A and B are shown apart, each in its own frame.
Chain A
Amino acid sequence: MNKSSAKSYPLLFLVPAGIIYVTLFLIPTLASLGFSMTRWTLAAATFTGLDNFAMFFSEPSLNIGLRNTLIYAVMTSVSKVVLGFLLAVLLTSSLRTKNALRAVIFFPTLVSTIAVGIIFSHLLHPSMGAVNQGLALVGIQGPNWLGDPHFALVSVALVDVWKGVGTALVIFVAGILAIPPTYYEALAIDGGSSWHKLVHLTLPLSWPATSAVILLSFIGGLRSFDLVWAMTGGGPGFATDLVASIIYKQYQAGFYGLATAGNVILVLLVLALALPLQKLLSLREVDL
């Protein structure tokens, strides 16, 4: 780039954003690598090597968070991708109410997560909640959704899907609407079935949207905290504890070094899973 254009776009314009971003995101991220290897009170830190990490992986009340986080991230992202795609296909068809229904499905994404958690923990009440009352009407005795360790994590994940599928939907709708109509016209002339249309046209050509939804919802799932915290607080026992809720608990208990190690583990988890996933997804990209 020549000198005069470098002067027209001064690096000075990056400084205000740079100061804030470096101070409050990059420095804390780098510092976390160091403090994760200490016993830390915010005032003083004692180096303890990899003890915190060893503890995170060996202590059952901590490593259950790793397992739960993986299960939760996979469950929520797969459901959001599949449901979001099917709903988007339905709501880009000739359905008369499609615009209104898109808005209806999208609205929960704007409601406070804590509010959603409160609403659903009451709807899922084992005896009085509307869900089990409804099931009782058709003769099914519903489980204790949030109190039974076998169901709790799945229940929270389902609520997460209810709240978040709207985001997946609008991204898929944008992806599907970006497919040039000529492709569909060509297929119509050749006489392809609607199944053929879905699998060989809509699915591959909306791939950029699909990979965006997979990545966004998977990374979001790995980082989840507030919904679990509002609905179960990590319980019963540790059945719904995620890495992020364990970080908060350790922070409350004053184990800052251990909590920071949890944060580093979360970072590594995102890097180890999301980066290869992104590579894999971009390989399948088709050009329009």
Chain B
Amino acid sequence: MTKSLRRIVLELVIAAATVAIFIGPLLFAAFSAGMTATEAANLGFRLPKNPQYLANLAAVVKASNYMMLRAFGNSVVITVFTLLVLVVVASLAGFVLERRRCRTVSVARFLILIGLMLPPSVITTIWVMKAIGIYKSLAGLVLVEVALGFPYTVILYRAFVATIPRELDEAALMEGVRPWQLFARIVFPLLKPVTATTIVLSSVNVFNDFVNPLYFLPGAKNVTVPLTLYNFMTQYTTQWNLLFADVMLISLPPLICFLFFNRQIVAGMTAGAVKG
């Protein structure tokens, strides 16, 4: 065997092993999602004999009085509003935290670092939410997601503001531009790469979030997508085909997101970690 042929074989082996390990388990779910209940019951890793994807997906969507649709609706509303609020408050804060030097800013930066590290205290958060009347509401969950996503997002924005030359601000202010105009018309448009990264990264995180809705948005009416999956897990103990159809349905949005925005996702994760 020549050296280059051996290399090609080695590369193929590496590629095949990686795909088998990291995609195999997902394929198992995708195959089982198209089986009949009896076929899925023995957990075989094979293609469905008579694929019935549409029937299974329809059964999942219709289950518990169209709970799935309500969950998708809730999850989309929560994700969209979280992103809107998060982008606005974090970009505004990131701009001032990077440009301004004063005691308040130093204190604020320290408090943000704490939030990056410490686990949130769930039950006292419920207590605060009850006191201000936002417990068990979509708006309440949105605000919690913003509060918990804020430290990481603001660090991404700060790092990017640092790369915009100060002279730009000074020139604009000299022209008599007001600070909020400077931010809204000049700086914010320049922050587009971070905004794109935040939107992609946080939408996947918020959409997939299980723990916060579990604590802060209990109740069947308010169910979110990962919680339907959790409910189905205990409900479909004999219909694994439907359970996996649900798994498939839930993995599609992040998969689509990934196919289109792979670059922003990776940029966001590495920027925060390596420079942060």
Contacts and interface: CB of A to CB of B under 8 A. Distances in A.
Contact of A260 (B124, B128, B129): B124
B1 to A, nearest CB: 18
A110 B274 contact: no
A251 B123 contact: yes
Contacts of B251: 111-112, 115
Nearest to B205: A110
Nearest to B204: A110
Q: Which of A114, A167, A270 has the most chain B CB atoms inside 10 A of its CB?
A: A114
B194 interface: no
B93 A267 contact: no
A174 B274 contact: yes
A285 interface: no
A17 B119 contact: no
A10 B96 contact: yes
B273 A209 contact: yes
B101 to A, nearest CB: 5
Contacts, number: 266
Interface of B: 11, 14-15, 18-19, 21-23, 25-26, 28-29, 32, 42-45, 85, 88-90, 92-93, 95-97, 99-102, 104, 108, 111-112, 114-115, 117-130, 132, 143-144, 146-148, 150-151, 154, 169, 173, 179, 182-183, 204, 208, 210-211, 214-215, 225-226, 229-230, 233, 240, 243-244, 247, 250-251, 254-255, 257-258, 262, 265-266, 269-270, 273-274, 276
9 contacts: A14-B92, A24-B144, A96-B11, A101-B18, A107-B255, A112-B229, A115-B251, A130-B28, A173-B270
Interface of A: 1, 5-11, 13-14, 16-18, 20-21, 23-29, 31-32, 35, 42, 90, 95-97, 100-101, 103-108, 110-116, 118-120, 122-123, 125, 128-130, 133, 162, 167, 170-171, 173-175, 178, 208-209, 212-213, 216, 219, 222-223, 225-226, 230, 244, 247-248, 251, 256, 259-260, 263-264, 266-267, 270-271, 274
